[in-house]
Amino acid sequence: MGKVKGSKYFLNALYVCIERHTRAHTHTSSTATGLTLTPHQHLQVILLDFISLFKKPPYIQNQCKYLLTQDIVLRDKLFFLSVIQTEVPPLFVIEFLHRVAEMIQDYFGECSETVVKDNMVMVYELLEEMLDNGFPLATESNVLKEMIRPPTILRSVVNTLTGTSNVGDTLPTGQLSTIPWRRAGVKYTNNEAYFDVVEEIDAILDQSGTTVLAEIQGVVEACVKLSGMPDLTLSFMNPRLLDDVSFHPCVRYKRWESERVLSFIPPDGNFTLMTYHVNAQNLVDIPVYVKQSISFFEGGSGGRLDVTVGPKQTMRKTVEGVMVTVHLPKTILSINLTATQGSYTYDNGTKLLVWDIGKLNPQKLPNLRGSLSLQAGAPKPEENPSLNIDLKIQQLAISGLKVNRLDMFGEKYKPFKGVKYITKAGKFQVRT
| 420: in domain | yes
What is the DSSP track for 178-233?
A: S-TTS-SS---SS-EEEEEEEEEEEEEE-TTS-EEEEEEEEEEEEEEE-SS--EEE
Count each helix (H run) and each strand (E run) in the chain, helices first: 7, 26
Cβ atoms of 425 and 323 closer than 8 Å: no
SS3 assignment, position 96: helix
Question: If DSSP codes are grouped into helix, strand and coil, which group holds residue 429?
Answer: strand
User: What residues have CB less than 8 Å from 350, skipping those under 6 apart?
Assistant: 327
CATH number for the domain spanning 58: value is: 3.30.450.60
**Cβ burial 256-292 (10 Å sphere, 16+ → b, else e):** beeeebbbbbbbbbebebbbbebeeeebbbbbbbbeb
CATH of the domain at 223: 2.60.40.1170
Q: Are strands 416-430 and 192-205 parallel, antiparallel or unpaired?
A: parallel
Could you write out the DSSP letters of every residue in 359-382? Answer: S-BTTB--EEEEEEEEPTTPPPPS
Within-domain flag for 63: yes
Same domain, residue pair 248 and 324: no
Q: Are residues 360 and 331 in the same domain?
A: yes
DSSP string, 10-59: EEETTEEEEEEESS----EE-TTT--EE-HHHHHHHHHTT-SBTTB--SE
Same domain, 77 and 127: yes
In a domain, 361, yes or no: yes
Does residue 209 belong to any structural domain of this protein? yes
Helix (H) or strand (E) run with residue 331 in it? none
3-state class of 76 per DSSP?
A: coil
Quote the CA–CA distance of 289 and 272 in Å, as a whole number: 32
Residue 144 lies inside a defined structural domain of this protein: no
Shared-domain flag, residues 36 and 134:
yes
In a domain, 14, yes or no: yes
The crossing angle, in degrees rounded to 10, of helices 120-130 and 90-108 is 140
Q: Would you say residue 148 lies in a domain?
A: no
Q: List Cβ neighbours of 254 (8 Å cut-off, separation of 6 or more).
A: none
Q: Residues with Cβ < 8 Å from 423, sequence gap 6 or more?
A: 198, 199, 200, 201, 287, 392, 393, 396, 397, 398
Same domain, 268 and 404: yes
Q: Tell me which residue range forms the domain holding 356.
A: 288-394
Say whether both 341 and 363 belong to one domain: yes
Tally of domains in the chain: 3
Neighbours of 89 (CB within 10 A): 9
Angle at 68 (CA atoms; ends 64, 70), nearest 5 degrees: 160
Note the pTM of the prediction, 2 decimals: 0.74
One domain, residues 131 and 19: yes
Residue whose C-alpha is closest to residue 349's, from 371, 369, 327: 327
List the chain pLDDT tens, one digit each, 432 residues: 344 445 555 555 445 555 555 544 434 444 444 445 454 455 554 455 443 444 444 444 444 444 444 456 667 777 787 777 777 887 888 888 888 888 888 888 888 888 888 888 888 888 888 888 778 888 888 788 878 888 765 555 555 555 555 555 555 554 556 688 887 788 999 999 999 999 999 999 998 888 888 999 999 999 999 999 999 999 999 898 888 899 999 999 999 999 999 999 999 888 999 999 987 766 688 999 999 999 888 776 788 999 999 999 888 899 999 999 999 988 888 999 999 999 999 999 899 999 999 999 888 999 999 999 988 878 888 788 999 999 999 999 999 899 999 999 999 999 999 999 999 999 999 998
Indicate if 267 and 309 belong to the same structural domain.
Answer: no
Domain identity same for 275 and 405: yes
Q: Determine the distance from the C-alpha atom of residue 427 to the mean position of all C-alpha atoms in its chain, rounded to a whole number.
A: 14
In a domain? residue 231: yes
Quote the longest CA-to-CA distance of the chain.
79
265 secondary structure, DSSP code: -
- 3-class DSSP state of 338: strand
What SS3 state is found at 291? strand
Residues 27 and 92 in one domain: yes
Spatial CA neighbour of 342 closest among 356, 353, 332: 356
Same domain, 253 and 310: no
Q: Are residues 108 and 231 in the same domain?
A: no
Which stretches within 306-364 are classed as H helix?
none
Q: Give the pLDDT of residue 376.
A: 80
- Cα 27 from Cα 40, distance rounded (Å): 10
Instruction: Provide the 8-state DSSP code for 301.
Output: S
Angstrom distance (rounded) from CA 233 to CA 217: 23
